């Protein structure tokens, strides 16, 4: 896989994960970070996973965000095949509310790290913010945008609760 110019790859195990993972994409978009979204299933498309993970660094990606639900092996298997930082997002499953996804992603053996986020939308959003923080280490303009993004969220918190909110 060559010719990519995006900094962040957002991969997910299924179309059904997009409702969650779009929050990562939206957040990266708000911060002006280039990204590419792909469906890559550890179980249904293992060759696609192998090709993506082994080629991700050479393709120019710097950070990978991987979301999956249930028997969520996508983030860990990706991390096993790339030196890039991998952030895992447990998607909320129907049967077990994402507890299965979380435990599948978080319990990696020593030596193959996956930075595991919260279940669902919060995790997807925060994965994007962590990716932004990593990229901002070498990009002062992005660092300033990230500071602004965080400041705007702080400013949006009211001092008192409202009946109308």
Interface residue list for ligand RP5 (CB under 6 A)? 13-14, 16-17, 41, 68-70, 91
Work out how close the CB of 104 gets to ligand RP5 at its nearest, in angstroms, rounded to a whole number: 10
Q: Which is nearer to ligand RP5, 107 or 152 (CB)?
A: 107
Beta sheet of 115-116, edge-to-edge order: 35-39, 8-12, 63-69, 86-91, 115-116
Judged by CB, which is closer to ligand RP5: 14, or 27? Answer: 14
Nearest Cα residue to 92 out of 65, 110, 113, 68: 68
Residue 72 Cβ vs ligand RP5, minimum distance, rounded to whole Å = 6
* Phi, then psi, of 2 in degrees rounded to 5: -135, 170
- DSSP annotation of 67: E
Minimum distance from CB of 96 to ligand RP5 (Å)?
A: 11
Alpha carbons 89 and 114: distance in angstroms, whole number? 10
> How distant, in Å, are the alpha carbons of 14, 32, 160 from that of 69?
9, 27, 37
CB 56 within 8 A of CB 79: no
Nearer to ligand RP5, 34 or 41 (CB): 41
Q: With respect to ligand RP5, which residue has the nearer C-beta, 127 or 134?
A: 127
Q: Which is nearer to ligand RP5, 88 or 115 (CB)?
A: 88
In the annotated binding site for substrate, the residues are 14, 17, 44
Q: How far is the CB of 26 from ligand RP5 (least distance, A)?
A: 19
Minimum gap (Å) between residue 71 Cβ and ligand RP5: 7
CB 102 within 8 A of CB 114: no
């Amino acid at each position: 896989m060559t010719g990519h110019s995006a900094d962040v790859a957002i991969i997910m195990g299924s179309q059904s994960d997009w409702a969650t993972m779009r929050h990562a994409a939206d957040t990266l978009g708000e911060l002006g970070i280039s990204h590419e979204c792909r469906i890559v299933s550890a179980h249904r498309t293992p060759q696609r996973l192998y090709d993506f993970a082994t080629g991700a660094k050479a393709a120019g990606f710097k950070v990978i965000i991987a979301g999956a639900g249930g028997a969520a092996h996508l983030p860990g298997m990706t991390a096993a095949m790339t030196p890039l930082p991998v952030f895992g997002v447990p998607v909320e499953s129907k049967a077990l509310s994402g507890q299965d996804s979380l435990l599948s992603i978080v319990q990696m053996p020593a030596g193959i790290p996956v930075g595991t986020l919260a279940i669902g939308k919060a995790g997807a959003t925060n994965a994007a913010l962590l990716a932004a923080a990593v990229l901002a280490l070498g990009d002062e303009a992005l660092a300033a945008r990230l500071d602004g993004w965080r400041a705007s969220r702080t400013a949006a918190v009211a001092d008192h609760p409202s009946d109308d909110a």
